Homo-oligomer: A and B are copies of this chain.
Amino acid sequence: MPGLLLGDVFPDFEADSTVGRISLHAFLGNSWGILFSHPRDYTPVCTTELGRAAKLSAEFSKRDVKMIALSLDSVEDHLGWSKLFQATNHKADILAYNNDSSCNALPFPIIADNKRELAVKLGMLDPDERDKDGMPLTARCVFVIGPDKRLKLSILYPATTGRNFDELLRVIDSLQLTAQKRVATPVDWKPGDNVMVVPNLSDDEAASLFPSGVTTKDLPSGKKYLRYTPQP
């Protein structure tokens, strides 16, 4: 029953993409990565999602996160849907949807998983969304992969529910912060909010690691675990 678990090495693979044959681990190098699938090129929600992803690409770059998209469509369809046609200088649908003069090309590759190999292997298919031959399409999966190539976080939304890219940036900020500092981020945390000191740090260690101060909330149990500190 369990699929890809947190902490598992994300499987390496080779695939065709809009930038040619690609090997995932080599593409990621020492960066973080976000692999996100969509159901189908030339469809409404996917266009809004990839448009938004393109607009946010500088935010992902700033965090050293390499973006890579995936669907079952061909490289030809991916390009027809997303590229700048140099000869006529016109932009394909996603870029036109964005209506942003600064963006002349999709700033990340799209994998063409025509044979459904990756979709099956990685549990990405959505049985409620099928192509004209009755074959299931890819759902809206997201895998966040660390520089150690291990899975850090995943989400699985159906075709009918567009993702929330602000939430994706929020969790990447949390993952990167908590990978470096001995803190965790509370419910609904946003960058800049206070964070929680992890339970396995003693009060003395916490005081020395977090010179901006640690505030402990009194609780009926008398246990001293609700410890906040400004984001380090």
Contact = CB atoms under 8 A, between A and B. Distances in A.
Interface of A: 1-7, 11, 40, 42-45, 47-49, 51-52, 80-81, 90-93, 96-97, 120-123, 125-128, 139, 152-167, 170-171, 174-175, 178, 183-189, 196-199, 217, 219-221, 223, 225-227
A221 B90 CA distance: 10
Contact of A123 (B2, B47, B158): B2
Nearest to A167: B167
A162 B186 contact: yes
A188 B161 contact: no
Q: Is the interface of A mostly helix, strand, loop or mixed?
A: mixed
A225 B42 contact: yes
A97, A163, A175: most-surrounded residue (chain B CB, <10 A): A163
Contacts of A161: 153, 171, 174-175, 178, 184-185
A91 B152 CA distance: 35
A158 B44 contact: no
A163 B175 contact: no
Contacts of A178: 158, 160-161
A221 B91 CA distance: 9
A103 to B, nearest CB: 14
Contact of A164 (B7, B170, B183): B170
8 contacts: A3-B3, A7-B128, A42-B225, A44-B199, A91-B220, A154-B156, A158-B178, A162-B184
A186 B152 contact: no
A126 B6 contact: yes
Given A5-B123, A123-B3, A154-B156, A226 B171 contact: no
Given A6-B158, A44-B225, A188 B166 contact: yes
